[in-house]
Structure 1
Amino acid sequence: MQPSDPHGIRSGIPVPATVKKPTPNMRMSLAGPAIRAPYLTPSVPTNPRQSMMRSQNVNPLLQSTTKPNYGRTPLNNSTRRGSVWGGGATLAPPSSSQTLKDTRPLRDRQYQTKMRQEIFSYLQSSGFEISMASLANIQGKDYRAIFDFLLLTLDPSHPLNENGRFEDEFVPALKALRYPFAHQIDNKWLAAPASMHSWPSLLGVLHWLVELCKLRGHYMSSGHPTLQIPSDIPEEFDDPCDHRALAFDYCEQAYTVWLDLIDDFVEPNQYLEDRYARKNERVQIDLEEQTNHLAQAKVELAKLKSSAAPLAKLQNENGLLTADSEKFQKILQQYEGRKKKLIDTIAYEKAELATGGVRLEQLKQEQDKLTEIVKTQNLSPEEVIRMNTDHEMLSRNLEDLKQKLSETHKSIMTLEVSVTHRAEAAEEALDAYTNLLSSLELFPPLPPPFEDIDLTLELNTAAANPQHLLSGADIRKIIKPTLSAVAESKRSERASLESERIKVDNELDQLTLECENVEEEINELEKKVAALNEQADDLRDAAQQEALVANGEAARLERDLAHARTAALANGMGVKSRLQALQFDYREQIEKVSRLKEETVRAIIKNSHEIAIFKDEVSRHLRELRDFAEGG
């Protein structure tokens, strides 16, 4: 935090937090700001191209040690450039309203010890050689050395005059650094800085400078973007200070090249382009990835739009599954029927097996009985040998019979498998036969004369009698003749329907031809009607023209009559005969016009009557044609 300058002049150097803030109602001095010394005249360079502007980086905290001589912090006093602050200029004293009072307990021994310890620690860490004893009982030259060291640490370009009087540079330097209590310093204190009345204030000055140097060091090592160090800028950045740092570095390099009489800034341009290319590299990669994702999404969207709707696909699958379900239900019904038949067969076989077991027990009992009988008999050796021989023969015969029996069992198993296949084929054929009966509507009751015949058949594979395998009517005697009769009747019906269809087609063709003829007659009648209408129009036009002519003639006669009357009045009775003749002519013309009107009206009435009769006749023909078409 920086306190406000009582002179209205700001500096880029931070101020310790221990400095008291000024009161907000402070008045400005009527004497104006402090008088600054003029800028030092820069030395004339050997380069013929001169800089037209001073460096804008006047903040000493922002000066970089990696730059050329202009704007660079000097390494020693011999290359030090002039400070912007005037060394020997006197400053106007602040007004009484702007006087600040130092609130630090500078007279406190413990506080002095603390300040002295902090000053000693900072000087030791900064490489300035001084002992604590020298700092406790300080001399004027030691105080000046410490002050110059701290001042140059804060402002390496401050123009110190080593040969000048320290009293002339001390207070102006503090005011240049904006020390808030510079007006309380007396130059006479510098003669004996360790005295009791001067040492607390002078020690406070050193402590304030040390705190300021610590703040500057912390700021310079913080890596803050406002330092504008291009090497500290990360690869990716968005801070405006980083952009300004690169811009300032570019201007610096380009300015250096320009001062070397080179107008093409190739290297600065390339460096700046590479730097921003590295900055935008990850963004470009992200952009390419997003572009690829967008292209993939567009392809997927086009694929979804081009493909059928999921609902239609699901509906098709649902229809297929429904049809499959119906088929499976039918198959399950068939297998249920087969299951019942197989259960019946298994029950029959179990009954046969139980019967065979009972018979086997009987045979064993009979064998035991015969064995007892043989034991009770007293037989000779020849009989025994003969019996053994017979036993061996019987054993061999028994083995042969067993072998034949096993072969018979094998053949029976093979036959059973073939019978099973045949039964399945027969069931499938019977199912196909039943489906055909259903599709042909030949389930009972059949149409006469076959209403007493049942064409359905059922297969019973568990029946012992082969004649009972197929239950139903006799195939050869009943079913085949019935089917042949049904087929013959269907063929005859089809032939009759075909002949009927041909007959209807012929009638339809005849009706179509008659319709075409009627249409032609209608067209001719329409042409005649149009001709009659034209004749009526011509007669009407002629009558109108004759009426116009008659009206004109009557008007002319009236005019002549008027002239005749006038002449009769003028000429006397000799004109009466002429007047009578004109009147007779006028009456004849009137009668002629009336006769022509009557003839025209009669012709129009006659033509209208003929047209009405023609329309009635056409309507009657059309009604007859429609009734005939509907009745056919």
Structure 2
Amino acid sequence: MPANPAALPTSIRKPPVRSSGLPRASMASHPYAPLARLSSAVGDGPNQKRRSMMPPSRPADGFLSASANRSDGASNGKTPQPGRALTSTRRSSAFGPTGGRQSTLAPSYGSHTFKDPRPVKVPTFTSQCKENIAGYLASCRAQLSLSANWQASPTAREFQDLFRFLATGLVGPNYPWGKSFEKDCLSILRDLHYPVLDTLSKTAVTAPGSHQSWPLILAMLDWMVGLCKAQQRWQDPASVSDSLLCRASELSLQHPQLEERLFWDFVSETYTEWFESDVEEFGPAQRLLEEAYEYERFMSDKLKFDNFIEKHREKVDNLNHRIEGVGGAIMDLVQRTATTRQHLANVEAEVAAQNLSPDEISRMQHDKVALTQQLQDIGNKIAEAKRLCHDQEMRATHCMDECDKHLDAYDRLGGRIGTLGVAADPLPSSFVRVDYSLNMHLGAEDAQAILQSGRSKLETIRPALDSYAQGSRGQVDKLCEEETTLERRHQDLMESVDNKREEVVRRQIRYDKERKQVDEQREMLKEEKSEHGMAISNLEAEVRGNGLPQGGVVQAKARLDRSKMVFDSLLQKTQQLQVQALTELLGHVEAISSCKSRTEESLESVMRFAERQD
């Protein structure tokens, strides 16, 4: 390194200057701490400003967030760096929980159930999934203990081995698998944003070889295989497009992230030494970084000079082209001048040969001027006639466009009223014989023929349409009268229905009143029956106690029988009255519903006819 830092070019970024008396700050306290360590002071003078290693137009973590939206399934959305060789003893997966077995990523889909669009239970689809999985395992040379029947009905152990193999390529080999494989499986699928996770349950994961679970499990494994293949293609050096996956030497000098990539390579190479060996100075790496920045500056200046030279070459070419054009114009003028001189000499020779007098020459010049003026007037008249003709053509074109619009409107109206096309209601026989179509060739040259054809069709169609309009107006008036009649009938029916409802209410009130009376009579009969029972029991007791004659017992039984007969007759009358009231109520309800349905049908028919007329 040079002894005087100020002597270096200002475009070269200086290494950080650390004081040996200060304690060493930890780079693990913040994920972007290496960026702050590489700020340097350019020069030691009072007029020199402190400038950062990162461009001021980009944030400090711009190169880290450049590919943050590309999920690779192994670093929580960050692009993996091939130059980083961190030797941590245990790396927690970004998809795996670090404590409490909770996922660190929130699912990007909603809580609603998403239906799987794939035909998971179709034999063709399942066979294709099996071929994809088997082909991927063969291409990866997977060392899995799978039986020959694993594609038809795998065991739980085989499914777990296969899932762990695929998940290792997506979430990393250091994923902390727990004791419950079902929870780990569903958690990984949730973090990988499996679209139809709701179709899988713990039962399906526990028993994957069942007839109901295996098609869903097979579709899920095929989806993971596709994800693994996409990750392999993304990390393929032959097709990589992310600048953070390439070395800085592989990027062009015009790449917008070249400086960030150089800085990232420097941090990747020195971080392990700083973290493990407690190294404070990185002389070789800093020299390489300075040389890379200086080379970048030189190549940038070279590119600027090349562009400057190319620009001046273009200017020289344009100037030569213009000079050639001017030279050609000069040669053309020289040739025209020579031709004009030759023509003038010929004219002078002809004039000298004719031996004209000055008066004749003057008269001929006057005639020439007059003819020239006449030619100019004729040219002006021709231009005016062309302009008028063009205006007439434009007006004719506009008129033809308006005629096309009116013809389209006529066709639409004819389709609506039934004169053109297929109508819902057929026309009367008197109107069918008339041809209502207006088929005219508007692009014909003879406007009089178009006008004559239009007038002839107008003489034929206009009276028929007037007759049709009069008939339609008559039908509309008739329908309006029918509508008025139906409305009047509807009003009468509504009044009748209201009266029936009032009658039903009155009968219901009377029925309730009579039923209440029947209930009261029933209660009275029950009381009388209980009293008669008590009287009979008393009489029987008296008979047994006092030895009454048999005639008193017979009279008491006769009174009891009469009371029972009266009760039965009242009960029968009550039941008959209840049945009669229910029958009348049902009849009124049926009459109301039938009247309402007939009214609705009539109104709907009137509305349909009115819509057809509109």
Superposition TM-score, scaled by structure 2 size? 0.35
Choose between structure 1 and 2 for higher RCO, CA contacts under 8 A separated by at least 6 residues.
2
